[in-house]
Copies of this chain bind each other. A is one copy, B any other.
Amino acid sequence: MELKSLVNSFIVLLFLFFVVGIQNSVQGRLLSSVLKPHRNDAPAYARWLVSQNSWGVLNTISSDLGGAPFGNVVSFSDGLPNEGSGVPYFYLTTLDPTASNALKDQRSSLTISEYPLGTCGKRDPENPVCAKITLTGKVRCKLKYIHLVVLDNKSEEAKLAKSNLFSKHPEMKGWPKDHNFRFFKLEIEDIFMINWFGGPKPLTVEEYLHYKQNNLAFVQSDTI
């Protein structure tokens, strides 16, 4: 009977770990088990943060709102976790103001938080130890999806954007064709990242883009 008692407990454990697993899979938590880089390795940390997240806030200038900065929740992908290029791609419809804003004024930024990944421990989302990154640059629309220009129609990058996005966001494959979704990319011109005390980490676009993600990363115990 003692054994039976243990078996019961084990079944309950399995069930609840399954429930926790389901929660994690739908909350935008860590997309893979790739460990967190050390905070002092800025390029590694930035690439990890972008690669592990599936969504962020894309900010554009809204002419309809007197030139106010307009943030919008979007899904993005630079590729699968630990295989990404660091370049965020988007699948946006001009039925949404962000895409139409970007076609009028390319100035934009993408802001991502570590908080929803669940790797900030109990820290406040604004605590500098809970990392945040803002990639500022220009949103460039893949012309192929506006004018069917032959040159763009053969664009390898358009295929890459589609592959990166649909692999991380499989639901996108089924989004309505008549909504005029287009592939966008953010051409990064400036990187603002805080992942510890002491202000933003010095990080150039070159250091960020040229970082090889297959470098060994490890968890820093003092951020958990």
The chain A residues found within 8 Å of chain B, CB to CB, are 1-2, 4-6, 8-9, 11-13, 16-17, 19-20, 23, 25-29, 54-57, 59-62, 65-75, 91, 95, 97, 107-113, 115-116, 118, 120-127, 132, 134, 136, 169, 171-172, 190, 192, 199
Contacts and interface: CB of A to CB of B under 8 A. Distances in A.
Nearest to A135: B71
Contact of A59 (B4, B16, B59): B59
Contact of A73 (B65, B111, B122): B111
Contacts of A72: 111, 132, 134, 192
B23 A68 contact: no
19 contacts: A1-B5, A6-B8, A28-B116, A55-B113, A57-B71, A57-B111, A60-B69, A61-B69, A67-B107, A69-B70, A69-B109, A70-B134, A70-B192, A71-B71, A72-B132, A72-B134, A73-B113, A123-B171, A124-B172
A192 B96 CA distance: 11
Nearest to A69: B69
A153 to B, nearest CB: 25
A88 to B, nearest CB: 13
A55 B126 contact: yes
Nearest to A71: B111
A1 to B, nearest CB: 4
Contacts of A120: 26
Contacts of A73: 111-113, 115, 125-126, 132
Contacts of A11: 9
Contact of A74 (B61, B112, B126): B126
Contact of A5 (B5, B27, B65, B122): B5
A125 B16 contact: no
